[in-house]
Every structure is written in structure tokens, then in C-alpha cells.
């Protein structure tokens, strides 16, 4: 009598790995601006203002802080994904690791807003704000960046 592959039972370690792999494969991390989570005094949604700054408008030059952050940290992000996978192979739960990853990406975006090199503010904007720091006026944009994980639908 021959034993087929389908007749084999997975070891407890293998079953744990597959369960964690399935859990992780059905999760996504959202990092950025959530509509309605931050509103300026003039009623503008922070998510809209962030988009206008990232891509530019007819009156605002692009200041791609998110794109620059992702490009600057791309290698680190790939390495972190590998670390999460390796932890899973070792039998560790990955939920706290992906939350830490989301927090890191969030902080990288905040750092890019604060330290990145961008097109300077127009003289009229500098006069209004009193200083020339693109992407910064009240700090609300940085405070409005969030991250969360959720099950893929």
C-alpha cells in the first residue's frame, strides 16, 4: 500500500505556521491619512490637504513627502517584511510585529515632513505663516498620520 501526500498529517509546528501564514496573508496595514480624522480650523480635511501637498494643485507645487519617505526607506521595509516572515517561521505571532512595522512607517512619514527637502513656500505663504517650513504650520498634519491593520475583505 502506498501513502499519498494527501494522507499525511501536518505536525503541530507546521499547523501553527500555516495558521499564522493564513492570518498574515489576510491582513493589510494602512498608513497615512484617514478622512475625517483631522480637520483644520477652516474646515479643510487633513487628508485632502495632505493629498494636495503630495501631488500639487494649480497653486501648490508637489511636495511628495509620502513618496520620498517610501523611496528613502524601501530597503528597510523589505528587510522588515523578511524579519516578520522569519519570526513566523520560528513560530512567533506576527500581530505585534506588523503593528510595530506600521508605527515605523508612520514615524518615517512624520520625519520626512519635518526634515525632507521640498519646494520652498511662496513669499506670500511665508508672510502669512511667519516662517518658511513647507508642509508645516500647526503640526496637525503630522499628528493626523495614523496606521492600523485590518483583515482583508
pLDDT digits (tens, 9 = 90+) for 7-57: 678 888 888 888 888 888 899 999 999 999 999 999 999 999 999 999 999
pLDDT at 5: 64
C-alpha cell read off for 117 = 527637502
Given a contact cutoff of 8 angstroms between Cβ atoms, the answer to whether 118 and 46 are in contact is: no
Given a contact cutoff of 8 angstroms between Cβ atoms, the answer to whether 30 and 42 are in contact is: no
Axis-axis angle for helices 65-89, 95-115 (nearest 10): 160
pTM of the model: 0.85
Q: State whether residue 150 is helix, strand or coil.
A: strand
Distance between CA 97 and CA 103 in Å, rounded?
Answer: 10
C-alpha cell read off for 5 = 501526500
* Integer CA distances (angstroms), 41 to 37, 49, 124, in order: 13, 13, 20
pLDDT digits (tens, 9 = 90+) for 62-120: 999 999 999 999 999 999 999 999 998 888 888 999 999 999 999 999 999 999 999 99
pLDDT at 7: 64
Amino acid at each position: 500500500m502506498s501513502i499519498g501526500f494527501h494522507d499525511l498529517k501536518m505536525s503541530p509546528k507546521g499547523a501553527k505556521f500555516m495558521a499564522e501564514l493564513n492570518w498574515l496573508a489576510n491582513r493589510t496595514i494602512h498608513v497615512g491619512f484617514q478622512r475625517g480624522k483631522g480637520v483644520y480650523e477652516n474646515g479643510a480635511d487633513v487628508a485632502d490637504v495632505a493629498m494636495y501637498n503630495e501631488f500639487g494643485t494649480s497653486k501648490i507645487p508637489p511636495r511628495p513627502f509620502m513618496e520620498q519617505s517610501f523611496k528613502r526607506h524601501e530597503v528597510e521595509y523589505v528587510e522588515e517584511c523578511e524579519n516578520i516572515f522569519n519570526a513566523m517561521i520560528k513560530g512567533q505571532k506576527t500581530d505585534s510585529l506588523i503593528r510595530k512595522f506600521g508605527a515605523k512607517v508612520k514615524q518615517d512619514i512624520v520625519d520626512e515632513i519635518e526634515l525632507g527637502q521640498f519646494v520652498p513656500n511662496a513669499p506670500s505663504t511665508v508672510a502669512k505663516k511667519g516662517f518658511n517650513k513647507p508642509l508645516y504650520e500647526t503640526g496637525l498634519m503630522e499628528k493626523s498620520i495614523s496606521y492600523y491593520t485590518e483583515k482583508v475583505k
